Structure 1
Amino acid sequence: MPTSEFFEVEAKFAVTDGTEVPDLTGIPTVSAVTGTTVHELSAVYYDTGDLRLTRSRITLRRRTGGTDAGWHAKLPGDGGRRELHHELTDGDVNAVPRALIDPVRAIVRDLPLIPIARVDNERHGSVLVDSSGTVCAEFCDDHVTAWSLLPGGERTTWREWEIELSGDYAGTDAGVTLIESAAELFGTAGAGPSESPSKLVAALGDSIDDAPHPPGVAEPAPGSTEAGVLSALEYNYRRLLDHDPRVRRDEWDSVHQMRVATRELRSHLETFDGVMDGDSYRDTARGLRELAAVLGTARDAEVVAERFRELTAGEQSGIVSPASAAALVDSVRADYRDAHARVVEYLNSPGYLRLLAELEELLADPPFRRDTVTDAGEKDPGETGDTTAEVLLDRLGHAYRKLLTRHDHAMAVWEDRSVPLREREENIHRIRKAAKKLRYSAEAVGAATGLKTKHLYKACGRMQSVLGDFQDAVTSRDILLAKAEQARAAGDGTDTFLHGLLYQRELNNGDDALAGYRKTMDAVVDAYSELDNQRRKNRRKAGDTSGKKGRKH
């Protein structure tokens, strides 16, 4: 069954039973009211037992009666709410359609969705039109009776007004002006702003306070290293959850952003290994690696499709047919669509839902090693009395030394043509991965210890950018080779000259990108030396003069 989507912008107003509806043409935009109809609506709202949707400002309901009977999900959006509609299904009335569960899957996972409230509404609706005859809004005078189905819930009644913008006005300046004018008119009639953001929240009333809460984030002593560790992990966990529905909708760059959050989270877990431990902890890290790999395939196809579009658009030789260029770009776009479908399939898999549950549990009950946990108190960053901080700083040093080792090896053979190009390029890719690891470690250690790691973080970011451009060119060449092989194997007469032409251009693009690498390496060394000096200074204050310096190249 099809699912439709709308952008909802509305305002609610509290009124008493005796408040009279004013002349709605008193709203400057409104030229006429096309009539009033009365509908008897009844909606049952669903959520997990611990109200994960409600606490995220999301509503999920099954409504009967009126012109839009069906399943509805309302999600927060910029300047309004995204509303998803799905037709009523036969059979079990409590069977929520998967099309409405998937957009909130990261929140509810595979937990049961149960009825939490019933709202009956006698709606007096009026359609408002502007001077051109275009529908600009709907005014609703709602007489509501609601029941909370939570333990201790009660029956409540109230009256409220709603004004909802039409599609032509939602999200526009004209729509904002219309609602502001309506609020002014309603205020003179005795209406006030609604105290509840939704009918569901009003229906639940105080019973929401007795419902269980989802697991929260543990709260170590403020200022402790453990508090910093959890803050760093929670930040990227929230980013992952935030991008999940965007990836499902295939929003531009969402796959990339979710992949970054996943990789940072995994890197943080590796950095904090030694501060935290346990089999479940390492299982979570492996789950993040698997998720990053699935996202990576789609991301590579997305990047290459855009590169091919730009490369073919810039082809000025006139020796390549536009049809050949279009066919190549379309082929890679099809690869992306297939890869994106596999991503969505993975996001609905038991393994992914288990990963989210593991992350939630890790934040709620972090497996800190008792021999590294510190007492609360004010300490200088890097002070040796803070065992947790020392473990993290050692991790950072290890990540830095790995980068130096990979740099030395790659540069030693880069000009050696006896070493296969593929091997030399893989060495450069390994530097990029080490720089990424060091960058994420710098961010995590800075958050956890208070050391000023921003310069190192930014220097690694610049290196990543340079080597990322290089790797994109390499990935593009790999796909060009694969596409050429496919064309030859198909034997359909496809002209592969374009593939070779673009291959050479990507070779040149890779060389151009790599030209700025050594400068970024020097910046990383300087930033780490600065950080190491800061660490050794703090150690001297604590009576420990150990520590290693960085080195120049």
Structure 2
Amino acid sequence: MVQSMRETERKYAVPSSSDTSWLSDASWLSRLERVEGVTAVVDRGPEELDAVYYDTADLRLSGSSATLRRRTGGSDAGWHLKLPLPGDSREEIQSALTDAVPDTMVDLTVSRTRGAMLTPVVRIRSTREVRHLLDAEGTLRAALNIDTVRAESLRAEGRRAVWNEVEVELAEGADPALLEAVDKKLRKKGIARAQSPSKLARALDETATAATAVGTDQSGDLDLNPGSAGEQVLAYVREQIRVLTALDPAVRRDRPDSVHRMRVACRRLRSCLRSYRSVLDRHATDPIRAELKWLAGELGAERDQEVLMERLTHRIDGLPEELVLGPVVARLQTWNVGRGTESHQRTLDALGSPRYLTLLDSLAELVEQPPLRAKARKKADKVMARAVLKEYDRLAERMPRALDLSPGPKRDVALHEARKAAKKVRYATEVARPALGKPAKRLGKRIKAVQKVLGDHQDSVVARGTIRDLAVAAQGVGEAGFTWGLLYGTEQAVAGTREQEVPAVWARASAPALRKQLRK
């Protein structure tokens, strides 16, 4: 069984020359200033912890700020996978103690390891003195742990390190101000925040346990000047790859909105590689774009199902009770269970495929050895303005053609194609924003409004097709079709309204002044 929790803690380095006797008497913590609720500090006694950390040969996990360990001793013996979160927090995923790395943990690290074998790297043993900070009801608010750490490299015989450190871990639901108050007390004692983000990072450094293969981002050695087009495009690409990689474990565990966000990361990457072909050679990036399209498509089945279910549920909930005739809700739920299970399995199959691993390798190679073109070394503003305007011109060609068509299936398709073109413009402005500033931001905002109207129109087209299918199935078993007809008519009316809104929204986005600002 796997369980997950949010861990919020700070680590402090204790200098070897410091008088640490005061650490053994933590009564001073009971006098924390400006922190409500802490009334007692309880000594929970010592613990002996023994952890073996696992990573790939080239330390891909630690290189992405993740750690995997097998730990014995203490109250939470087992396998612990820690994934980075903003600030002082990390997500900790735990599973039962086994000899080998559990399959679940292997799967949850795939986006970072890219399928490379996980082997022991460092053994870290800690003698821990535990102090609990409690409130008046005896509820834990935070734990202060004083660790004597002994690290041993499992790849380089005889390399060891010893140090002391302090951890302050916030209890679930506790006020983060408590961390600040303890921080202030520790700094007064001469104890500063640790430079290493984790015990593993310090152990790797102090035992000189280096990677045995190159697996780090080398784009900083590409002789790109600050403010160059190549620097800014690569920064955007790296960020979207980081987002995609970080979301993989959440998608596998079916976390809310994770599929949508991972799919968007795929689309942003695809769009960037398309729009900035003048910076990155398309002969190298077009195959990656094709694989990103495949992955987005596999994720899309599940995401489209989520969107459609939310839309139809909202429509039914908005109807007066007397207009919901027959088992409409039950039929919708039955339809969703079948389709939802199937689409989620499709996602898992994609993430478990060799094709996905190959894509991850290609993305890693893209930032390690980017296929830069000559314009990558030029100033970003002009290069990016041309790229944005090129995407904008494609949209400007599609929109009038779509609006000139009569309402119906052909116009629906044309508006959908215009919507996809609008996305490309918006993503291009995202990449260009550091160089182009307010003009890019303003254009992106107006294009997003166009995309939103066209998106709601397309959602109504898809919803009507599903409603009709559900109505046919209901009619086949003698159920009332009134409510399904009502829902169909509602979606048809929504589509008509959105079509009426498009010209005005597009007029704001196509204002000549916006294009003029980008050309400056």
TM-score norm. by structure 2 comes to 0.84
Letter of the structure 2 residue corresponding to residue 511 of structure 1:
G
Q: Which residue of the partner structure matches residue 80 of structure 2? A: 72
Which of residues 482, 495, 500 is equivalent to 2:485? 500
Q: Report the CA distance between 1:129 and its aligned residue.
A: 4.2
Structure 2 SS opposite 1:464: helix
C-alpha change, 1:265 and 1:7, in structure 2 (3 Å) is closer
- Paired with 1:498 and 1:43, the residues of 2 have a C-alpha distance of 60
Instruction: Please say if 1:332 is aligned against 2:333.
Output: no
Alignment of 1:85-484 (within 5 A): 85-89=94-98, 93=99, 95-125=100-130, 129-151=134-156, 154-166=159-171, 170-173=172-175, 176-177=177-178, 179-180=179-180, 182=182, 193-207=193-207, 210-211=210-211, 212-217=214-219, 219=222, 220-273=224-277, 275-277=279-281, 279-316=283-320, 318-321=322-325, 324-329=328-333, 331-332=335-336, 335-369=339-373, 373-374=374-375, 376=377, 382=382, 389=383, 393=386, 399-415=391-407, 421-444=408-431, 452-484=439-471
Instruction: State whether structure 2 residue 34 is matched by structure 1 residue 27.
Output: no
8 A contact 1:225–1:449 mirrored in 2? no
The one of 509, 515, 520 equivalent to 1:531 is 515
Question: Which of 58, 63, 70 lines up with 2:71 in the alignment?
Answer: 63
> Which residue, 80, 83, 92 being the options, matches 2:92?
83
Q: Which SS does the other structure have where 2:219 is aligned?
A: coil
What does 1:4-19 align with in structure 2 at a 5 Å threshold?
A: 4-14=3-13, 18-19=21-22
CA distance in 1 between partners of 2:260 and 2:482 (Å): 31
* Cα distance, 1:188–1:229 mapped onto 2, change above 3 Å: closer
In the aligned structure 2, how far is the partner of 1:400 from the partner of 1:136? 54
Q: Given the superposition, is the C-alpha separation of residues 471 and 158 from structure 1 closer, same or farther in structure 2, using an over 3 Å criterion?
A: same
Q: What is the deviation of 1:241?
A: 2.7
Whether the 8 Å contact between 1:216 and 1:363 is mirrored in structure 2 is yes
User: CA RMSD for the aligned pairs?
Assistant: 3.4
Quick one: which amino acid aligns to residue 84 of structure 1?
I
> Which deviates more from structure 2 when the two are superposed, residues 120-129 or residues 59-68?
120-129
The 3-state SS of whatever aligns with 1:318 is helix
**CA distance 1:38–1:284, shift in 2 (3 Å):** same
Aligned residues of 2:244 and 2:265 also touching (Cα < 8 A): yes
Q: Once the two structures are superposed, what CA deviation does each residue of 1:136-161 show, in whole Å capped at 9, x if it has no partner?
A: 44444433221133558721223334
Contact 2:326 2:479 in 1 (8 A): no
Instruction: Give the gaps of 5 or more residues in structure 2.
Output: 32-36
The answer to which of 56-65 and 135-144 deviates more is 135-144
The amino acid across from 2:96 in the alignment is: E
Whole-Å Cα distance in 2 between the matches of residues 437 and 96 of structure 1? 42
Per the TM alignment, residue 523 of structure 1 is displaced from its structure 2 partner at its CA by: 2.4
Distance in structure 2 (CA, Å) of the matches to 1:399 and 1:23: 63
Q: Which amino acid aligns with 2:295?
A: L
> For residues 312 and 266 of structure 1, what CA distance do their matches in structure 2 show?
36
* Equivalent pair of 2:2/2:94 in contact (CA under 8 Å): yes
Larger Rg: 1
8 A Cα contact 1:239 1:261, kept in partner: yes
Separation in 2 of the partners of 1:340 and 1:398?
A: 37
Q: 1 CA distance for matches of 2:349 and 2:319?
A: 37
Q: Matched residues in 2 for 1:132 and 1:228: separation?
A: 53
Indicate conservation of the 8 Å contact 2:156/2:209, yes or no: no
Q: What is the CA distance between 1:32 and its match in structure 2?
A: 5.5
Work out the percentage of aligned pairs sharing the same amino acid.
35
Structure 1 residue 532, shift from structure 2 partner: 5.3
- Partner of 1:9, secondary structure, is strand
CA distance in 2, matches of 1:239, 1:195: 25
Instruction: Give the Cα–Cα distance (whole angstroms) in 2 for the partners of residues 425 and 50 of structure 1.
Output: 50
Task: Report the counterpart of residue 34 of structure 2 in structure 1.
Answer: none
* Corresponding letter in the other structure for 2:169: E
Contact persistence 2:46–2:130 (CA under 8 A): yes
User: Contact 2:30 / 2:40 at 8 angstroms: preserved in 1?
Assistant: no
The count of corresponding residues between Structure 1 and Structure 2 is 506
Residue 507 of structure 1 and its aligned partner are, at CA, apart by 0.6
Q: Is the 8 A contact 1:226 1:448 kept in 2?
A: no
Secondary structure of the corresponding residue to residue 516 of structure 1: helix
